[in-house]
Amino acid sequence: MSGDAVGETKVKILKALADPTRLQILEHLKDGERCVCELIPAVGKAQSTTSKHLDILYDAGIVDRRVEGRRTLYRVKNPKVFEVLKLIESIALEELMRVARALEEMKKLTEQATTS
């Protein structure tokens, strides 16, 4: 497999994860397989919108699906995706804490400047 193929696949996966609705879908799939009929009310989107998001996750290789009668069931294909999401959450929290500290420092400096 070429480096280009790996790079393109990484981009496809990251793009698929870069949407709040798709992250919400993954959160609902964390405990196992779910029918589309369960995901629609859980994410609060129309059936067509939910299906489009599921197709993006499927095309990126993040979820798998199977048909059982009239129901389409989805599951996370590789649980490592949750490890990736946990790392991203950790990075996001660290960044938010850094910004909060910087804002607090700016507030102190502003207060000092106005009292001097």
17 neighbors 23 (Cβ within 8 angstroms):
yes
Task: Give me the sheet containing 34-35, strands edge to edge.
Answer: 34-35, 71-76, 63-68
Q: What's the mean pLDDT in 78-102? A: 95
Site of tokens 């009929």: 37
Taking the C-alpha atoms of residue 100 and residue 92, their distance in angstroms, rounded to an integer, is 12
pTM over 0.85: no
* pLDDT, tens digit, 9 for 90 and up, residues 10-47: 999 999 999 999 999 999 999 999 999 999 999 999 99
Q: What is the DSSP string of 24-54?
A: HHHHHHTTS-EEHHHHHHHHT--HHHHHHHH
Q: Over pLDDT 70: what percentage of the chain?
A: 98
